[in-house]
Structure 1
C-alpha cells in the first residue's frame, strides 16, 4: 500500500493535514473548539486545517488558553447586531413576516418559514450546508470595496468572483444588510433561497 503523503506541517508527525482537509468545515470548527482555538468561527477551511494541525502537535499550546475561547468564538460569529434584524424605513413586508434568528440553535417554527438574521455563523453554516461559497458580482465593485454580494452554489454564473467570508461579512455589516432565507421549502425539501436587504434604502 502507498503511504499517505498528507503531512506538510513540520514537527507534526501524528497529524495528517490530508485527513483534516477531508473533514467538513463544521467538523473542523468543532475540532478547533475542542482544541480551544479562539476565533475558529471566523476562519476559512485552510486556516482551520493549519491551526488544528498546530494545536494537535502542541506547537501552539502557549497561545490557545487565552480565556473564554468558546464565548469569544460565539461573539465573533454573532456580528455587530448580535444576530438581530436591522430595521429601517425601507424594511420589506417579507422581513416583517420573517422569523428572527439570533443563534445557530434557533429552529424554524415550521417548514417553509421565512427566516431573517444578521448572525455571521448562522449565515455561514446555512451556506456551507449547501456547499455555497461567498462571492461578489464582477464589475459592481466600488473602488476597493466589494460589489453586489452573492453566495455561489456552483452554478454557471461566470460573473461571480469568490471572496473570503471575512471580507464578505465586513461588507455585509458595512452596508447594514439583513439576510432573508429559508431552511426548507414548504414541501420539506432543502431550500437555497436567500436575499439581502438594506432596510435603510430600497437597493441592497
Structure 2
C-alpha cells in the first residue's frame, strides 16, 4: 500500500501541483447533477486543455469540463469547505499524480 500524507498548506499544495504540471480547476454547481456546491479539482497535462467530448453540435465546447482558475479562487473554496489534499508520499525518481480532496 502506498503511504499518503495530508496537505493543507497553500504553498505546499501549489508546489506539489507544479511539480506535476497540475492546474487548479472548479466545476460550477449549475453543471453538476444533484449538487448545489461547486467542486474543486486539479487537472494534469493535456487533459486540462483538450475537450474530446464532442457530443453534438448544440453542446457548448466547454460543457461539463472543469473551469481552469487561479489558485486564489481555488483556495477560497478549499478553505471555505475545510478541505485537505491527500497525496502519495514522494518516492525518489517518481512523480505520482495520485490525489484525493477530502474534508478535514
Is this a same-fold pair by TM over 0.5?
A: yes
Contact 1:183 1:190 in 2 (8 A): no
Name which of 9, 14, 30 aligns with 1:119.
9
Give the Cα–Cα distance (whole angstroms) in 2 for the partners of residues 167 and 149 of structure 1. Answer: 10
**Greater strand percent: which structure?**
2
Question: What pairs with 1:1-204 in structure 2 (closer than 5 Å)?
Answer: 112-138=2-28, 139-140=31-32, 142=36, 147-154=38-45, 155=47, 158=51, 159-184=65-90, 189-199=94-104
Give the Cα–Cα distance (whole angstroms) in 1 for the partners of residues 73 and 4 of structure 2. Answer: 26
Bigger relative CO (Cα 8 Å, ≥ 6 apart): 2
**Greater helix percent: which structure?**
1
Where in structure 2 are there 5+ consecutive unaligned residues? 52-64
CA RMSD in angstroms comes to 2.4
Report the 3-state secondary structure (helix = DSSP H, G, I; strand = E; otherwise coil) of the residue aligned with 2:74: helix
Name segments (4+ residues, structure 1) moved above 3 Å: none
TM-score using structure 1 length: 0.37
Q: CA deviation at 1:133?
A: 0.6
Structure possessing the higher radius of gyration over alpha carbons: 1
Give the Cα–Cα distance (whole angstroms) in 2 for the partners of residues 117 and 125 of structure 1. Answer: 11
The number of residues matched between the two structures is 84
Q: CA deviation at 1:148?
A: 0.8
